[in-house]
Amino acid sequence: AQTVTQSQPEMSVQEAETVTLSCTYDTSESDYYLFWYKQPPSRQMILVIRQEAYKQQNATENRFSVNFQKAAKSFSLKISDSQLGDAAMYFCASFNQGGKLIFGQGTELSVKP
């Protein structure tokens, strides 16, 4: 079975600072994909960043980067220079050969001005 765990229900960061959101996952498959999705209060879920499991290099997307530790099955998201617009619920998700996108429980990020 495929599981995704986010152990931080809530996080807070000061504007312009850096914050790291944690995620661990469990899968028996060798080929899979990991994602961070963002859901702002307006509700529309958008993709923040993706990582292919076969790639050793950590994905980056502007101020967003991941720390992918395959052996530890860890996939954390780092947000640098946090902005007020980064406030949202962040979901870690995995996608594997079953063709299902499975989400973690989410981390609600607040950004303080």
Partner 1 sequence: DTEVTQTPKHLVMGMTNKKSLKCEQHMGHRAMYWYKQKAKKPPELMFVYSYEKLSINESVPSRFSPECPNSSLLNLHLHALQPEDSALYLCASSQDQGTSGPRAGELFFGEGSRLTVL
> From the CB of residue 20, how many other CB atoms can be counted at a distance below 10 Å?
15
Binding-site string for partner 1 from residue 42 to residue 81, where x marks contact by CB under 8 A and - marks none: xxxxxx--x-------------------------------
Per CB under 8 A, 89 contacts partner 1: yes
Per CB under 8 A, 82 contacts partner 1: no
Q: Which two tokens stand for residue 40?
A: 């702002």
Decide: helix, strand or coil at residue 44.
Answer: coil
CA–CA separation, 109 vs 113, rounded Å? 13
Residue with smaller CB distance to partner 1, 63 or 100: 100
The answer to whether 110 and 19 are in contact (CB under 8 A) is: no
Binding-site string for partner 1 from residue 2 to residue 21, where x marks contact by CB under 8 A and - marks none: --------------------
CA–CA separation, 81 vs 50, rounded Å? 20
Instruction: Name which position in 22, 65, 80, 101 contacts partner 1 (CB under 8 A).
Output: 101
